[in-house]
Amino acid sequence: MLHKVFKTSTLALICTTALSGAVAVTAQAAEAETERHKVEVTTVTEGLNFPWGLAFLPNGDALVTEKSGNLRRVGTDGVISDPILGVPDVVYKSQGGLLDVALDPDFEENEWVYLSYSEADPDGGPGNSTAVVRGKLVGNNLQEVEVIFRGMPKYESGAHFGSRLVFSPEGHLFVTLGDRYSAMDDAQTLDNHHGKVVRIWPDGSVPEDNPFVSQDGALPEIWSYGHRNVQGAAIHPQTGDLWTVEHGPKGGDEVNIPIAGGNYGWPIATYGVDYDGSIISDQTHVEGTLQPHYYWVPSIATSNAIFYTGSEFPEWQGDFLVAALKASQVARLDLEGERVMHEETLFKDVVDQRIRDIEQGPDGAIYLVTDDRNGKLIRITNADD
């Protein structure tokens, strides 16, 4: 069932912007009913410029990317830092810009932070692609910055860059990518990174057991293919498997559990149609391709997703929470093992902007960032009596 807002209160919060510094703002905290918990939805801060990715530091501060190219630190008090220095230049247009942020699993020892972004051709050509850098976070600076992955080929487009970064239990880095929209057919071939999930080591080297390492004409980083625009990724807390969430066209958003070498069908198989209603493929399944684990028709415009494992919401433990842009909601997929038993719509009536990222905080709360020029960092906590 949908949420019903039944109580609001006004909170005084602090935020900063790049132009005005720290200013006092008024924000709303709302309580809402869900099927299993009453929740409180609080704006921690606003004034973020199209925030895209969110990662929590060990001290509870958050790193937030802004699509325009800034990486900022948001304190537990809601104060936003000046831009962190050392971030690479990005191609900021349409869907491109500074995208995801992730911490190394051993961050407290090595200080590595990973960023995905849309990168111009370093040789001066007209194209661009998704790239990944890492750098050591020292104070308000990224140091020893190095490119560890560069999508190929460079392609002139402002659409479908992916991209989420997630580490496997074994320490591999998965990078999810998009098909670049007008190059969708490339998702079915292995000589490019369009419409792929890639698997590398944190220094950018290729694991020897990647599925296409020994195949002539295939890029060895590729883990799975036949994807459209994968903007969500999470590791299952019990199995250690990668789960991804990708945008369909008009209809056909998908949850997948990508296996090594798996072909997930796009664009020769899809549950969606093009935005003008024309048929992309008249088939939902093609021999040799894998079906989505779960899908939405109509689309909710999926963004990121998490498995909830905290103690703040005991009735949601183990559930898969999928954030959405168009619908400004979170879909809670109630799992029994890997099987989806039930879907509940969360936060639709208490979040008024598109949700770009969802993360679980170190305090067990759920955090959202919203896709807006006055983007918000929102905290969801338990309000059960």
Identify the bridge partners of residue 10 per DSSP, sorted by sequence position: 28
Q: Which two tokens stand for residue 202?
A: 């944190």
For 224, list phi and psi in degrees, rounded to 5: -145, 165
Question: What is the CB neighbour count within 10 angstroms for residue 72?
Answer: 21
- Is residue 227 annotated as part of the catalytic site, yes or no? no
Which of 314, 332, 313 is closest to 323 using CA atoms? 332
Residue 249 half-sphere exposure, CB side, CA atoms within 13 Å? Answer: 21
Identify the active-site residue in 3, 37, 160, 194: 160
For 91, list phi and psi in degrees, rounded to 5: -90, 105
| Sign of the dihedral defined by the CA atoms of residues 172, 361, 98, 190, in that order | positive
Residue entry with tokens 């999810």 = 176
Q: In what order do the strands lie in the sheet with 71-74?
A: 51-56, 62-66, 71-74
3-state secondary structure 119-170: EECCCCCCCEEEEEEEEEEECCEEEEEEEEEECCCCECCCCCCCCCEEECCC
Instruction: Determine if the peptide bond prior to 314 is cis (ω within 30°).
Output: no
Q: Which two tokens stand for residue 49?
A: 């410029």
Which of 251, 241, 239, 246 is closest to 284 using CA atoms? 251
Q: Which two tokens stand for residue 98?
A: 């500074």
The amino acid at residue 128 is: N
> Could you give the residue numbers annotated as active site?
160
